[in-house]
Structure 1
Amino acid sequence: MTPGTKYPSFKSVWQRRQTVGCGKPVSLAISRLPKSSRSGVKHRRMSKPLAKAVTNRGSLTSDTSSAVPGSTDACTSLTLEELTFIIISRFNSLIHQVNHTQTIQSIKPAFKSLSQKERFMNFSLQRYGKRLRQFGLGLVAIAASLSHAADPYPSKTITIVNPWAAGGPSDAIIRPIAQQLSTRLGQSVIVENKAGATGTIGAAAVAKATPDGHTLFFAHVNPIAISPSLPQKLSYDPIKDFAPITLIASGPAVLVVRSDFPAKNLSEFIAYARANPGKISYGSVGLGSNTHLAGSLLGHMAKADMLHVPYKGSATIQTDILGGSLTTGFVTLSGAQGLIQDGRMRALAVSTAKRSSVLPDVPAVAELLPGFEISGWYGLMAPANTPPDVIRRLNAEVTAILRTPEMSARLRDGGMESSPTTSEAFGEYIKAELGRWVNAIKVANIKE
């Protein structure tokens, strides 16, 4: 077959056979196959002239124009071009449905669906024999591979699902990354906020998404490492239903109060809380969230009775603290830093084991209550079974973004440390985090 040759359609092959006087479907042009390719092919149900032709002829014909109408030659001849085109045409509609992970064995039933017209040469596995069946399946496999190779990633808009409310500190982290990722990939990258249930609504949506790399999850410690350990069952598994791409950033939460609150530091705050049991309310981004567990652990270790008030995001917690309807709360440093710097809020302590480089004058809770440590992190994940080459591409692009001076400075100013990793290292980190939160959950006594 020569490149650029126009191969015949089913219709043209059928018309040629009618022209040369072949009224009924006959066996495939096995008559033109070499004897070495016809081992085990039975001649039953063939006419005697055809059986004789099968025995005598040795190769596929390349020209049937000289065939005498009505002769055995005319009725049994099939050019190599016609044969190849027929096979490829029949499977062309199937190629785009063949997933790269499916086995070629799943294509076999398709041979049995051939119409009567397509079987005018008894185009079936039984009559073609083992060698031709393998040939046809091989063509499908090659064409399917070429089809995937011709569809580069990304081929459409990429959506990153942020499981927190719009306008919060998580948006401040992921949206600049999405903008740079769009530039690097040459494709639109949008951020979609799906808030609720401490991030598990957004996580569940991504877990069910098509694993082609066009729907990603802005992962957070809550829906990936904490919620799976809570009593309430989830619709997803953080290990089995997601493919880790990279850790993005990690950092502390900061305990804040309004600037006119009587306590000036953590020690005074604990004393005030003990003296006013049940009167201190603390907000969190949801039941079982890291900020809920931080407040619960603080109350437990300080022996202070405080009231938990769940919210959907940090922004509303800060608004209610400023408004006076909420006393305190552990919030992300990135979201509260501006309010702390302009004097509207007072930072009492950070939740990590050590002080933050962003707020070096603010002590860690562990300095007063040894053993206290609660930190938060963000990462990027995809649905399970996303192609490995897509994961590698995204890991390379996002880690490159995180290592730029601009992005590192942006995260540092928000109290977070840039933490790019390999996808494998991020997966191991998640497994370790799943075990780390067990004690904090027991202390919080979450039963539903």
Structure 2
Amino acid sequence: MDNVMDPELAAEMVKLLGQELKVVRSQLREAEQRTGTPASDAMSTGLQSQREEALRAEIFALKAENSSLRANISSLQDQTTNVSVKMEGDHSGLVAQYSASMDAIQKELADAIRDKNLATLDKEKADEQLQELSSVREKYRKLKASKRECQEVIDELRSQLELCIEEREKSASEGKVLKSDPASFFRNTEYPDVGDQPNSSDIPVYSPTLSMGIPRTARSHCRCDGTLRLEKDVFMFARAGIALGLIFRPMYQYNPQKNNGAWGRLRPDIEPGQKKDLCYYDGHGWKYLGTYERTGESFLLSPDHTKKLSFPRVEALAKETVLFRDLVSPSQMRMVEKMFWEGLLQVEMFGIRRVAYDQEFARQLFERRKDLPKSVKDATSTSIKRKRGDETDETHEDRQPKASKSGTKEG
């Protein structure tokens, strides 16, 4: 019994002992009832006495066993109380062990989650770095291809430049092209009297739009060899007025579509002796200046004056040099500009002088412009008729030419 520590088992044992006690009591009652019945003979009386003695001994033994069982029950109850206290202490230890185990598991879980998050961040960073690496590689590939294309263009430009230089040296040696500067041109060129010539600032604008062309209806009224459209960065006036001008243009032109890029001699827009109506953009709008005639052969701008050209003028010359500029990279355009300043590309010039003013051509220009108010058109038309009413081709050509002493002015 000392080894029985389970309270539930002790209770079951007490219950079983109680049941046995009930059975013994029932047997005793039956024996007592049989003892009270008179016996018929001596044998039955003897047997009855023996049975009574046996039953009394059994009752005594059962009472002793009952007392022992009661003592055991009391002992078991005491043990149950002790066991419950001991189990309660053991339960606290288990709870502590369980809590410690749960803390360790939670710590491991937190560490695992942290490691997983770090791994996820590392993977995201690795993906970003991989994308950046792919982008850098793609840029490098494009730059390498662009470098190769630029090198091919540079090689082609060098070969073409060598031909241009040879042709230039040959022409210079034959005396076909002279080198000069704008000041010398205006000083040595004769042109009509400029007394009645207006200033460029006094001439009205017929279109403020840079991309505006000459209307077809106006071109149909042109009675000379055609029209010229010049912007201020490729044209220069004499200081005395608009009677004499100087056109700047590249001597050679580059075509990126021809034979994978080829250089060729640039033909002028007006030949010696031709007369054309000139429309001029002064930075604010297009103006009709009159009919101009080319004065003579072209000449080259000297290297010293080429290096002094302004950036807008060189930029305009570079645009004239390269056809299909959308096929050429900006770096190539800057290279062309640098070639002008370094003298590898030469600037050609020729002069034009004003000889007439076409009233009908001017009127068509203003009437076909929808973006100008009617009041401006009417005032302009009246001013043109008042200032130009008496001008004809013959009156200009009848004037006596004389040399200009006034120098130059850039338009």
TM-score range, shorter chain: under 0.3
TM-score normalised by structure 1 residue count: 0.22
Higher relative contact order (CA 8 A, sep 6+): 2
> Highest CA radius of gyration, 1 or 2?
2
- Could you tell me the TM-score, scaled by structure 2's length? 0.24
Higher helix share: 2
